[in-house]
């Protein structure tokens, strides 16, 4: 929370953006979700319910940065047996690899309120570059005096690139679990300093 006389937002290149500072992901207003193909015919949706992030909004917004940590055991697809399998060594191996980590390496482009946030994603001690397509949703001050901003982000990864190779061949052709996983993030970030 900041002093009520400090600027909450600022104008930058036609956008109203948050004031420079350090922001954290609001646990009550976030979703870290994913979508994967099942049996080549449908999609399974899930989320990680325990995720934290620190976002540093720089004076030059194109120099802003993000670090995020996701607790692997918090995976939830609304089906207990599937969740247990996803936590097992066949997939996330949460006992050995308790977190998934993201560290940004730069903001690489902008078009209106859409940005590309490049970074490194680590799953099971395998780190690969990823580009998140980020949509800036707006900034303001809550009725409780919190300076905040909203965003959404998405990317697609090949799970096998991170060592998540477990699968079963289907008699009708194809496999039980698709390789591509779409990641979808929605959130609000609250200013700390």
Report pLDDT for 175. 83
Domain that holds residue 101: 10-191
Using the predicted structure, report yes or no on whether residue 5 has a pLDDT greater than 50: yes
Q: Predicted confidence band at 81 (pLDDT cuts at 50, 70, 90)?
A: very high
Q: Mind listing the pLDDT tens digit for each residue in 141-180?
A: 999 999 999 999 999 999 999 999 998 888 888 788 899 9
- Residue 193 pLDDT > 80: no
The answer to whether the CB of 26 falls within 8 A of the CB of 39 is: no
Residue 78 reports pLDDT greater than 70: yes
CB atoms within 10 A of CB 108: 13
Positive or negative, the CA dihedral 60, 65, 32, 109 is positive
Does the pLDDT of residue 107 top 60, yes or no? yes
Whether 1 maps to a domain, the answer reads no
Question: What pLDDT score was predicted for residue 1?
Answer: 47
Note whether residue 146 is domain-resident. yes
Domain count along the chain: 1
Q: Rounded to whole angstroms, how far apart are CA atoms 53 and 32?
A: 11
Could you tell me the sign of the dihedral formed by the alpha carbons of 23, 27, 29, 30, in that order?
positive
What pLDDT digit, counting tens, does each position of 16-75 carry?
A: 999 999 999 999 999 999 999 888 788 999 999 999 999 999 999 999 999 999 999 999
For residue 81, being part of any structural domain is answered with: yes
In a domain, 113, yes or no: yes
pLDDT > 90? residue 88: yes
Q: CA–CA separation, 66 vs 44, rounded Å?
A: 28
Judge whether residue 130 has pLDDT over 80: yes
Q: Is the pTM here over 0.95, yes or no? A: no
> Which pLDDT score is estimated for 163?
93
- 79: domain CATH number is 2.40.128.110
């Amino acid at each position: 929370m900041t002093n009520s006389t400090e600027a909450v937002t600022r104008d930058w290149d036609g956008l109203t953006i948050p004031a420079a500072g350090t922001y954290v992901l609001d646990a009550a207003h976030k979703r870290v979700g994913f979508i994967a193909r099942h049996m080549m015919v449908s999609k399974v949706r899930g989320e990680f319910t325990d995720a934290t992030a620190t976002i540093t909004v720089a004076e030059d917004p194109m120099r802003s940065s993000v670090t995020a940590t996701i607790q692997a055991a918090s995976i939830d697809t609304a089906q207990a047996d599937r969740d247990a399998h996803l936590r097992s060594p066949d997939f996330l191996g949460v006992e050995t690899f308790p977190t998934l980590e993201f560290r940004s390496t730069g903001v690489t482009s902008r078009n209106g309120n859409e940005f590309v946030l490049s970074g490194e994603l680590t799953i099971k001690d395998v780190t690969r570059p990823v580009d998140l397509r980020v949509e800036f949703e707006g900034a303001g001050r809550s009725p409780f005096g919190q300076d905040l901003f909203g965003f959404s982000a998405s990317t697609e990864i090949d799970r096998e690139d991170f060592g998540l190779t477990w699968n079963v061949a289907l008699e009708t052709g194809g496999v039980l679990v698709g390789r591509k996983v779409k990641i979808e993030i929605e959130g609000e970030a609250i200013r700390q300093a």
